Amino acid sequence: MVIESRLVDGWLAVVKVAGELDAYSAPQVREQVEQVIATGAAWLLMDLTEVEYIDSVGLGIMIGAAKRTNDRGGDLAIVAVHPQVLRVFQVSGTKELLNVVGSVAEAQALLAAARARGSEQAARGGEG
């Protein structure tokens, strides 16, 4: 299991995971995600492009991360391309809920748009 994390443009936390995400590797991934969220990150991109296997344990980590970012007014997006991984998101009914898309660029654009909408709403709230 290989995990890397970085901050993009000062607001977007990106966690990239490679390998098989099951109950054996999950603690590593969970710890890394927790560390990133503990820094105050509200916008999180989980890059699972190189993940070849996921199950309910991995889904649980993603659902937990989505809740944490939502609580901070942010959101989570997931990049997944492997058919097995996409199938698990689809069957579990979490594909839309977790913003699963096919490329990093798409995920970045999705989160940037959501962040811009949040800023606009905050500005309008400030005017009122």
Partner 1 sequence: MSALQRDVLRLELPCAAKYLQVVRLAVGGAADRAGLSVEDIHDLKVAVTEACTNVIDHAFDEDAIRSGRARMVVTMIIGEGEIRVEVEDEGRGFEPKHVLAHFNSAPPQPGRLGLYLIRQMTDELQIISAPGSGTKISFVKRGSR
Name the residues that contact partner 1, by CB under 8 A: 20, 22-24, 53, 55-57, 59-60, 63-64, 83-84, 87-88, 91-93
Instruction: Please report how close the Cβ of residue 88 comes to partner 1 at its closest, in angstroms.
Output: 6
In the numeric block, the tokens 């492997």 are attached to 82
Instruction: Please report how close the Cβ of residue 57 comes to partner 1 at its closest, in angstroms.
Output: 6
Instruction: Please report how close the Cβ of residue 15 comes to partner 1 at its closest, in angstroms.
Output: 20
Instruction: Please report how close the Cβ of residue 115 comes to partner 1 at its closest, in angstroms.
Output: 26
Q: Which is nearer to partner 1, 57 or 104 (CB)?
A: 57
Q: Which is nearer to partner 1, 35 or 56 (CB)?
A: 56
Q: Report whether 91 contacts 61 (CB < 8 A).
A: no
What order do you get walking across the sheet with 12-21 strand by strand? 2-8, 12-21, 43-54, 75-79, 100-101
The SS3 of residue 63 is helix
The SS3 of residue 76 is strand
Q: Report whether 29 contacts 62 (CB < 8 A).
A: no
